[in-house]
Structure 1
Amino acid sequence: MLRRRRFKQSKTLHERLADEAARLREEAQALAPGRRREMLLRRARQDETAIQIESWLHSTGLRAPT
């Protein structure tokens, strides 16, 4: 049976997503308008949306449906 390789993340998911979004935005700013730039900006927005969802899931006000 194969064993999974496991390692402990040094940064939280929020930090990793924020770093990735910032990196993608910087890379997109260096490009001329076009398909590649739009793709990078879209991925940055997806990372930012994931940050919001992750924050919502870990909020204290979140309750189980009744």
Structure 2
Amino acid sequence: MSAHRSPGQSSTFEYRLAQEAINLRLQAKGMPVGIRRTELLRKARQIDVAGEINEWLTSPGLRAPS
């Protein structure tokens, strides 16, 4: 992510993950079908999963996955 933040400004981990996934999908959208586009979309999905795992791990009612 290339946006600069001021010293007092912060964003959550989940927000930063979501923004990175969006950025990767936007990059992929402008590319022709191929390996690089597939890699960008795969990375975006991995980031989505990381956000879901983090949400699960930080939830107050932590339960085993079903």
Q: TM-score band, normalised by the shorter chain? A: 0.7 to 0.9
What stretches of structure 1 move > 3 A for 4+ residues in a row?
A: none
CA distance in 2, matches of 1:10, 1:40: 26
Look up the match of 1:44.
Answer: 44
Aligned residues: 57
Pairwise CA distance, 1:8: 8.4
TM-score with structure 1 setting the length: 0.78
Q: Normalization by structure 2: what TM-score?
A: 0.78
1:33 CA displacement = 0.3
Q: How far apart, in 1, do the equivalents of 2:29 and 2:21 lie?
A: 12
Query: Matches of residues 55-66 of structure 1 in structure 2 within 5 Å?
Result: 55-62=55-62
Label 1:8 to 1:51 Cα distance change in 2 as closer, same or farther (>3 A). Answer: farther
For 2:51, the aligned partner's letter is I
Structure 2, gaps ≥5 residues long: 1-6
Question: Once superposed, what is the RMSD of the aligned Cα atoms?
Answer: 1.8
Choose 1 or 2 for highest CA Rg: 1
The change in CA–CA distance for 1:14 and 1:37 in structure 2 (over 3 A counts) is: same
Gaps of 5+ in 1: 1-6
